[in-house]
Amino acid sequence: MAFVEFEKVSKIYHTGAVEIPALRDATFQVEKGEICVIVGASGAGKTTLLNILGGMDTLTGGTVKLDGRDISRYDRRQLTEYRRRDVGFVFQFYNLIQNLTALENVEIAAQLCPHPLDAAEVLREVGLGERMKNFPAQLSGGEQQRVAIARALVNNPNTIIADEPTGNLDPERSLELMSLLVKINELGTTVVV
């Protein structure tokens, strides 16, 4: 049994009477501890797929399982618990709270999960030990993205979901970020980009 299983997953958005298919029969598997990269043209449904895997969006048809659990049948409360315990999100646009320091941005995420890691230690692990008291505006794009990764890691998830994490970074910072995701993966975390 694969760790992540998508079986004939479809998603249709409705805008008035218009139906917009975002996914059609998406089927794939990811083994525990793998790095999986989802590629496709703009509008192909990559973000929709990641949002469904992360429990932030629901599917229209098919089945999604994570570690044998059918998350596609979870209700709202179960999805909230799933997001708190099982997944860490890294977004393209960081989504940091501007009036909180790097440390506070990670600590606020830690407050939402039952068994968080130490926020300061996680920031040190992503190379921001000297920058934890800085606000997002005082950090480079690469440093802000590392804060976002630390925020995703603080709940000690078994899966990291990264939606275009290098989209706003220059090539050098993109390489650093991907190296960090590989390092996280080598510690046993499944990474889906």
E strand segments, the chain: 4-15, 18-30, 35-36, 61-66, 69-70, 87-90, 159-162, 190-192
pLDDT in tens, the chain (193 residues): 799 999 999 999 999 999 999 999 999 999 999 999 999 988 889 999 999 999 999 999 999 999 999 999 999 999 988 988 889 888 877 789 999 999 999 999 888 887 888 999 999 988 899 999 999 999 988 899 889 989 988 988 889 998 888 777 778 878 887 888 888 888 888 999 9
Amino acid 97: pLDDT: 92
Taking the C-alpha atoms of residue 177 and residue 152, their distance in angstroms, rounded to an integer, is 14
